[in-house]
Amino acid sequence: MNNWRVDGKGRINRDKRVRFTFDGVSFEGFEGDTVASALLANGVHLMGRSFKYHRPRGPVTAGSEEPNALIGTSRGGSGRFEPNTRATVQEIYEGLTTVSQNKWPSLNFDVGAVNDKLHKLFAAGFYYKTFMWPKSFWDKVYEPVIRASAGLGVSPAEPDADTYASRYLHTDLLIVGAGPSGLAAALTAARSGVDVVLVDEHRELGGSLLSEAPTAIDGKSAESWLAETVAELNAYPNLRVMTRATAIGYYHENMVGVAEKLTDHLAEPPATAPRERMWRIRAQEVILAQGALERPLVFDGNDRPGVMMASAAQTYLNRFGVKVGNAAVVVTSHDSAWYAAFDLADAGVNIAAIVDVRASVSEHLQAEARKRDISIKLEHTVTTVLGKKRVSRVKLGKVSEDGNVSGIGTVSCDTLLMCGGWTPSLHLFSHTKGSLHWDAENEVFLPGEKTERCHIAGGGRGLWSQQAAFDDGVHAAQQALASRGQSAPALSIDVDGDRTGSGIIMEELPSNDDKFARRAFVDFQNDVTAKDIRLAVREGMLSIEHVKRFTTNGMATDQGKMSNMNGLKIAADELGRPAPKVGLTTFRPPYTPTSFGTFAGYHKDALFEVTRKTNIDSWAEENGAVFEPVSLWRRARYFPKTGEGMHGAVARECRQTRASVGMFDASTLGKIEVVGPDAAEFLNRMYTNPWSKLAPGRCRYGLLLGEDGFIRDDGVIGRISNDRFHVTTTTGGAARVLTMMEHFLQTEWSDLDVWLTSTTEQWSTIALNGPNARKILEPFMEGADLSAEAFPHMALRECTVGGFEARLFRVSFTGELGFEVNVPSEHGRALWEILYEEGKKHDMCVYGTETMHVLRAEKGYIIVGQDTDGTVTPVDAGLSWAIGKKKPDFVGKRSLKRPDMLLPTRKQLVGLLTEDPNVVLEEGAQIVEAGDTAIPAKMLGHVTSSYWSETLGRSIAMALLEGGFERNGTSIDIPMPEKTHRATVTGTVFYDPDGERINM
């Protein structure tokens, strides 16, 4: 298919060709390829443009740390596009379409690249120093231009068509990373019988074993050893292997979040399969075997397509069977790149030179290089890279002892492989707030003190060789088991022909060119150069945290994996301080960017959050109710007949209820059963009202304060028997009230013999209100006389209604004769339908929350949370009568005596009648003195409730008003944008002030 595949190499499936597109051009790869490997196999290196300077870029890595090769991907169809996908991670599948980003009009010719010409102006932090004059230009000119250049890819434009999942998993041991140390740990632990979970972000296990030329392991080729090992691991029932599963975050108490990709590699995913799944794995012990990341070298032109990590070239060759070029120069400060050079040379790549900045390199390596006719340049450096969209030549220089560099000319090549040493991957360890210590000799941070039960193995501890990694993996598993009091036999895995090595760390490659003129990139994606970092330090940014924020180094989508250590080294060099004195920015979750959908899991649409519905809700839905959300419940708001809007429906519901009878689903009201010999005493302490003398069979309004003296909740409380109360709460307050009661009961008054049980959902509650309410109920009563004498207002009975056991309350929230029937929930709808049928004889209506609000407001009954907020006392709300005057104490009583609670200027609940009876004030409208038109105004309060009262043929309102009780009869103004309304302050009872109707 092209010239770049190497026969006999790679773990791709050469029997399965896969077609995909990149920027509209169709390409072919093999199953197992990533987009990057497949494009490289087609000779394409240019895959993206950088953020600020729009410089042409190719993949610099072969893994999830890739900063350059970011693309948009889609499987086609609506809602399946996503930006900023790393081409080095995305597997190809038939039908995959990909596009390059941050370019216009095309990747090859990008107008934005003009920024690169102006790079001297765009030094670190330049935007803090300019765009300030003239001031008005900021929002009109500068910021729009800055914003227009923001971002890499484009946002998805349609709702996501996929679903996501999540799962909890508990295990003895979680191993993150299935390279040599992870595999060794897994083998050791699995053989000992403990539960093990092994996760790896790649499509197959093996880690670096997949990328390196064969060593011999236990006398077998690495390939066959790996195959056998994977087979063995898969056979253990106590071991669970997850691939394409990235450990993204390490949370408290050994919980690791693992994002598993399920379908993004499949041409035809199963219909109901989620795209990704978030595993929340709680492990007794965790082994972090994440290896190490190769560090780039910093030199002029190090970002050109064709400049690549040496290990990445090795991966492309050995894992994907792709050679990344035909003629390569290798520049390094570490032995590992030598091995990469050998692998590529053995695969037919012409290695033009190995340029090593070090003066001495092991004889063994040099001999191996000579064997392959590779030119060795010790104490040499690359001073610059030529070629724009692909490397064409590199300039080499000889480094003298004093650091002086003398040019020795250029070498032609199409690829430059670099290696600046290795950085242990301690991201997850860092999430735990584990400390890092600086290994001065190797110039790396290594794990220090731990805060969680975790063990680091292999590359993460700075170990560099297969043998060391295997041994350390075994050791880590033994340690993990030991801390569980178990032991595992030592497992020995012998590596033959192991590649050992060492190296040094450079801040920048030596060069005689002006430090401030070089284009030596540190953060590739964000276009942060070594010069930017040095400049930041000179501007007084003395800590790496300031440097990072000032330059944006490390803030690209690789989150500093490629740039942090080099940035630190350069800042330290500029400051003349050792690196640990300059600091290390902490790594934050997630380890790699993770889809929002994966975090949200199942929580989407109907499953986003619970919607609670009563047993009667289905009837309301069938009968055309309009609903409103009230806390977690949905409640019927009104029941429009054909042609009615809300206003018409509510007016009719009000009329019918006052004239005859209305039926209302009150099931959402909170209910708490308070039982025990001390039940009355408990309520005495909780509520403002007295309870001891309330007789069984009677009920009373109850008012609950917080300890701060402000109203929290209210409701009718009925005494079922001496030791048993039926407490009702507001719909939204049910859970809070029960929690508050339990808190006081368990932590302050554990001496009381009383217990609380939520019965909100035990009962369906049907409220009947209106002069004919009794007529609706009577035919269905067994065991209770409903006459006014036998069953007066505020009485309750346990009885049978319509054949269902019931608790019947005679209460009213409308001012009319009222009953509330509680029957076991599953019978709610049945009883509702029985009563509805009966109601047809009496012009009964059903009504919703809106009519309930109007009817209660006409009577001046408050709704906690609407007519009160968290700043209203019982006195403010006109509820002084509900305070038991003889009670020594109740929750909140002491707070009512604080100086501010006694001020006459507090806001108090009053009624308002507008001068124009047709004006319905807006709830939330503010009130000022009559005639006051100043701005800022002296606001006296606000309208809490306001309705058209069909009963009274005019508008009514309630308001919290400064010194409101004293203002009774005076006028105030309600200034609205279009007009100021005048109103008279009144009492809050607008209808039936003598309360006669309630006693009918």
To the nearest whole angstrom, how small is the minimum distance from the Cβ of residue 657 to other proteins?
20
Given 584, 661, 801, 877, the residue binding other proteins (CB under 8 A): 584
To the nearest whole angstrom, how small is the minimum distance from the Cβ of residue 400 to other proteins?
25
Query: d(Cα 188, Cα 175) in Å, to the nearest integer?
Result: 12
Peptide bond into 134 cis (omega under 30): yes
User: Any contact of residue 864 with other proteins (CB under 8 A)?
Assistant: yes
Pick out residues in 748-767 that bind other proteins (CB under 8 A).
748, 750, 753-755, 757-763
Contact partners, residue 388, CB within 8 Å, separation at least 6: 56, 304
In the complex with other proteins, which residue's Cβ is closer, 368 or 708? Answer: 708
To the nearest whole angstrom, how small is the minimum distance from the Cβ of residue 434 to other proteins?
11
To the nearest whole angstrom, how small is the minimum distance from the Cβ of residue 616 to other proteins?
12
Binding mask 111-140 for other proteins (x = CB under 8 A): ---------xx-x--xxxxxxxx-x--xx-
In the complex with other proteins, which residue's Cβ is closer, 414 or 876? Answer: 876
Phi and psi, residue 459, nearest 5°: -55, -30
The β-bridge partners of 56 are 49
The β-bridge partners of 718 are 699, 726
Q: Tokens at residue 385, please? A: 């890279």
To the nearest whole angstrom, how small is the minimum distance from the Cβ of residue 594 to other proteins?
5
Are residues 427 and 433 in contact, defined by beta-carbon separation less than 8 angstroms? no
To the nearest whole angstrom, how small is the minimum distance from the Cβ of residue 755 to other proteins?
4
- Print the SS3 string covering 932-995: CCCCCCCCCEEEEEEEEECCCCEEEEEEEEECHHHHCCCEEEEECCCCEEEEEEECCCCCCCCC
Query: d(Cα 12, Cα 4) in Å, to the nearest integer?
Result: 14
In the complex with other proteins, which residue's Cβ is closer, 118 or 231? Answer: 118
Given 406, 435, 492, 618, the residue binding other proteins (CB under 8 A): 435
DSSP string for residues in 663-724: EEE-TTSEEEEEESTTHHHHHHHHBSS--TTPPTTBEEEEEEE-TTS-EEEEEEEEEEETTE
Q: Tokens at residue 809, please? A: 């309350």
Q: Tokens at residue 21, please? A: 């597109």
Q: Tokens at residue 297, please? A: 């070298």
Pick out residues in 651-710 that bind other proteins (CB under 8 A).
673, 675-677, 707-710
Query: d(Cα 602, Cα 276) in Å, to the nearest integer?
Result: 11
Pick out residues in 503-542 that bind other proteins (CB under 8 A).
514, 516-517, 531, 535, 538-542
Pick out residues in 618-637 that bind other proteins (CB under 8 A).
628-631, 633
In the complex with other proteins, which residue's Cβ is closer, 123 or 504? Answer: 123
Pick out residues in 396-425 that bind other proteins (CB under 8 A).
none
User: Any contact of residue 642 with other proteins (CB under 8 A)?
Assistant: no
Pick out residues in 785-814 that bind other proteins (CB under 8 A).
none
Instruction: With residue 38 as reference, give the H or E element that holds it.
Output: helix 35-41
Pick out residues in 535-554 that bind other proteins (CB under 8 A).
535, 538-543, 545-546, 548-550, 552
Given 17, 603, 641, 841, the residue binding other proteins (CB under 8 A): 603
In the complex with other proteins, which residue's Cβ is closer, 694 or 756? Answer: 756
Binding mask 874-893 for other proteins (x = CB under 8 A): --------------xx---x
Q: Looking up tokens 């080729």, which residue turns up?
A: 221
Binding mask 718-747 for other proteins (x = CB under 8 A): -----x------xxxx--x--x--xx--xx
Given 56, 291, 597, 770, the residue binding other proteins (CB under 8 A): 597
Q: Tokens at residue 929, please? A: 């003195």
Q: Is 905 exposed, middle or buried (0-12, 13-18, 19+ CB in 10 A)?
A: exposed
In the complex with other proteins, which residue's Cβ is closer, 467 or 868? Answer: 868
To the nearest whole angstrom, how small is the minimum distance from the Cβ of residue 290 to other proteins?
18
User: Any contact of residue 359 with other proteins (CB under 8 A)?
Assistant: no
User: Any contact of residue 165 with other proteins (CB under 8 A)?
Assistant: yes
**Region of 222-230, 327-335, 481-489, 917-925 interacting with other proteins (CB under 8 A):** 917-925
Are residues 591 and 247 in contact, defined by beta-carbon separation less than 8 angstroms? yes
Pick out residues in 289-348 that bind other proteins (CB under 8 A).
none
To the nearest whole angstrom, how small is the minimum distance from the Cβ of residue 377 to other proteins?
30
In the complex with other proteins, which residue's Cβ is closer, 467 or 988? Answer: 988
Contact partners, residue 744, CB within 8 Å, separation at least 6: 685, 686, 891
Given 43, 156, 624, 648, the residue binding other proteins (CB under 8 A): 156
CA 989 centroid distance within chain = 48
In the complex with other proteins, which residue's Cβ is closer, 695 or 903? Answer: 903
Sign, Cα dihedral of 225, 230, 235, 236: positive
Radius of gyration of the chain (CA): 38
How many C-beta atoms lie closer than 10 Å to residue 74's C-beta?
Answer: 18
User: Any contact of residue 898 with other proteins (CB under 8 A)?
Assistant: yes
**Region of 401-409, 421-429, 648-656, 868-876 interacting with other proteins (CB under 8 A):** 868-876
Across the beta sheet with 755-758, the strand order is: 699-705, 711-721, 724-729, 670-675, 755-758
Given 167, 372, 437, 841, the residue binding other proteins (CB under 8 A): 167
In the complex with other proteins, which residue's Cβ is closer, 484 or 538? Answer: 538
Given 246, 825, 986, 988, the residue binding other proteins (CB under 8 A): 825
Pick out residues in 844-863 that bind other proteins (CB under 8 A).
863
Given 348, 578, 602, 905, the residue binding other proteins (CB under 8 A): 602
List helix spans (H) across 450-560.
Answer: 466-482, 530-538, 544-551
Sign, Cα dihedral of 182, 183, 186, 187: negative
In the complex with other proteins, which residue's Cβ is closer, 130 or 360? Answer: 130
Query: d(Cα 815, Cα 774) in Å, to the nearest integer?
Result: 15
Binding mask 927-956 for other proteins (x = CB under 8 A): -x------xxx-x--x--------------
Given 359, 367, 606, 695, the residue binding other proteins (CB under 8 A): 606
Q: Tokens at residue 565, please? A: 């250590």
To the nearest whole angstrom, how small is the minimum distance from the Cβ of residue 177 to other proteins?
21
The β-bridge partners of 797 are 808
Given 77, 151, 578, 995, the residue binding other proteins (CB under 8 A): 151
To the nearest whole angstrom, how small is the minimum distance from the Cβ of residue 673 to other proteins?
5
Q: What is the dihedral angle through the alpha carbons of 874, 876, 877, 879, rounded to the nearest 10 degrees?
A: 40
User: Any contact of residue 615 with other proteins (CB under 8 A)?
Assistant: yes
Task: Determine the residue type at 815.
Answer: G
Query: d(Cα 310, Cα 775) in Å, to the nearest integer?
Result: 90
Pick out residues in 187-226 that bind other proteins (CB under 8 A).
none
User: Any contact of residue 841 with other proteins (CB under 8 A)?
Assistant: no
Number of residues that bind other proteins (CB under 8 A): 187
Give, in order, the Cα–Cα distances in Å from 202 to each of 261, 392, 974.
Answer: 10, 33, 66
Buried b (16+ CB within 10 A) or exposed e, 252-271: eebbbbbbbbbbbbeeebee
Pick out residues in 962-991 that bind other proteins (CB under 8 A).
975-977
Pick out residues in 244-283 that bind other proteins (CB under 8 A).
249, 251-253, 255, 257, 262-263, 269-274, 278, 280, 282
In the complex with other proteins, which residue's Cβ is closer, 442 or 895? Answer: 895
Sign, Cα dihedral of 494, 499, 504, 506: negative
To the nearest whole angstrom, how small is the minimum distance from the Cβ of residue 524 to other proteins?
15
Pick out residues in 63-82 that bind other proteins (CB under 8 A).
79-82
Q: Tokens at residue 328, please? A: 């390569």
